[in-house]
Amino acid sequence: MQTFTAVAELKKWVKEIKNSGQSIGLVPTMGFLHEGHLALVEKARKENDQVVMSIFVNPAQFGPNEDFDRYPRDLKRDQELARNAGTAAIFAPSVTEMYPHESTISISAGTQAEKLCGAKRPGHFDGVLKAVTKLFHLTEADRAYFGQKDAQQLAIIESWVRDFNFPLDIRRVETVRETDGLAKSSRNVYLSEAERKEAPFLNKALELGKQKALKGENPLPDMADFLKKNISGKIDYIELLDYPSLSADVKNEAILALAVQFEKARLIDNKIFTLKGN
């Protein structure tokens, strides 16, 4: 496995792979890898000749007072995990390598970014699109892999690629969970011991809500009551929306999503499913 920190090095490797007629699968990450990231690599390996993983904590998607500086980083550990998973190359640029020039051109994620997490994180998904657009171009990936845990991000990226005819496919990968149901996340390390015991109730609330939604009932009040009885964290939102449009009018696929703010960690989770009769 090779690790590139410079754009020129990455592009040279990509050119060699493409000239040999091989396909490239891209796994974009911010590092501090866990089983969820490795599941992306596993699927990418099955569908491509070579897999490149980006490890870049993207400042463009962090707002004021968010956790950019304290976001967990451990490149040596990540390299070992990525190598063992079968990654062919890692692209781990510095911020100045990724963004060498101050740009006056901006990207807007549109109305999809105004719901769920985006409602309280203005500009976050604009920053996500800024980074992934560069990664798509630099890696010339045939396919890129994103987890369903970050479902709003996935929906926006799918729309971005579709609407602007990017020459790659976006692949969804199901959320990887701990044995107690908690969605894998790099931010789980911020949970206190007591909060870690409460965190699985997020997934239990989603399952409760899904069953009610499938019966044609409004799941949101019962989900809120359930969480208030079982967790100390503050509910940021609980919503049932169409997927991937994120509109209020559910037509076929639905997403039931929630976010909870604990003392030092904000956790998100969701379930994507088809409503009966739709």
Structurally, the chain folds into a number of domains equal to 2
Sign, Cα dihedral of 82, 71, 151, 59: negative
Same-domain check for residues 208 and 79: no
Q: Which of 173, 199, 222 is the last residue of a domain?
A: 173
Exposure of 159 in the CB half-sphere (CA atoms within 13 A): 18
State the Cα–Cα distance between residues 11 and 57, nearest whole angstrom: 20
pLDDT by residue, tens only, the chain of 278 residues: 999 999 999 999 999 999 999 999 999 999 999 999 999 999 999 999 999 999 999 999 998 878 888 888 999 999 999 999 999 999 999 999 999 999 899 999 999 999 999 998 999 999 999 999 999 999 999 999 999 999 999 999 999 999 999 999 999 999 999 999 999 988 899 999 999 999 999 999 999 999 999 999 999 999 999 999 999 999 999 999 999 999 999 988 999 999 999 999 999 999 999 987 54
Please check if 147 is assigned to a binding site. yes
Q: Which of 115, 139, 173 is the last residue of a domain?
A: 173
Q: Single out the residue of 125, 51, 109, 119 nearest to residue 85, CA to CA.
A: 51
Instruction: Provide the domain limits for residue 205.
Output: 186-271
Q: What is the CATH number of the domain that holds 38?
A: 3.40.50.620
Please check if 130 is assigned to a binding site. no
8 A C-beta contact, residue 185 and residue 212: no
Dihedral of the alpha carbons of 125, 127, 132, 138, in degrees to the nearest 10: 170
Strand residues in 30-181 grouped as ranges (E) = 50-55, 89-91, 143-147, 169-173
Coil vs helix vs strand at 265: coil
Q: Which residues does the annotation mark as catalytic?
A: 37
Please check if 61 is assigned to a binding site. yes
Please check if 32 is assigned to a binding site. yes
